[in-house]
Amino acid sequence: MSIDCPLECEYLREAREHEKAPETDPKTFPNPEIEITDEFLQAQQPLAIVTGRLLLVSAMETPGTVDLDMRDALDALTRTYKTADAGLVYESRPTNGIAAAVAARFQQEVAQFREQIAQQTGTHSVRDKELLGVLVFWQRMEWQRNNGRRKGRAFIESLFSLLPPPGEPQLEG
């Protein structure tokens, strides 16, 4: 029997504390050609936080989203930003309907974020290459956090714990 607990469920959080983290080999991570250094992450920390929050909002507002949907969405998003960085405009879309909805919602949120930045600064200060690097970071985090369960939400829950949406209480633990 499976129960769809809300992310703030104390029993779910307690179970996660006792769950053994899956073993991952960094050599199997997606997009190995994209190097994510500590210096890059430090320089792009504000963008990483905003991007993580936008991923979380996209997941939470798409009913039924699980980690495997996030994996598909992140894969499509990174392919989209790879082509954009190469100077091509081509949007990759997952075949999975939930993942496609998450990716579309994320793109909508990013467009609004870029518009806000442009209004505040007068420039388009979020480059596709920076966004690609940050998305690859979150994609690798998903690979590390995903517990392999078909309906698992360990990655989404980790986003919720790290970056609760505005108005949500910060969870302790």
Q: Where are the domains of the chain?
A: 38-162
Residues 135, 157: Cα–Cα separation, whole Å: 17
Residues 1, 14: Cα–Cα separation, whole Å: 19
Mean pLDDT value across residues 94-119: 93
Residues 36, 30: Cα–Cα separation, whole Å: 12
Which residue, 157, 130, 169, 173, is CA-closest to 56? 157
Note the pLDDT tens digit of each residue in 19-40. Answer: 666 677 777 788 999 999 999 9
Residues 62, 156: Cα–Cα separation, whole Å: 12
- Over pLDDT 70: what percentage of the chain? 81
Note the pLDDT tens digit of each residue in 124-167. Answer: 678 889 999 999 999 999 998 888 888 888 899 989 888 765 55
Mean pLDDT value across residues 41-48: 95
Which residues, 6 or more positions from 24, have their beta carbon under 8 angstroms from its beta carbon? Answer: 143, 144
DSSP state of 26: G
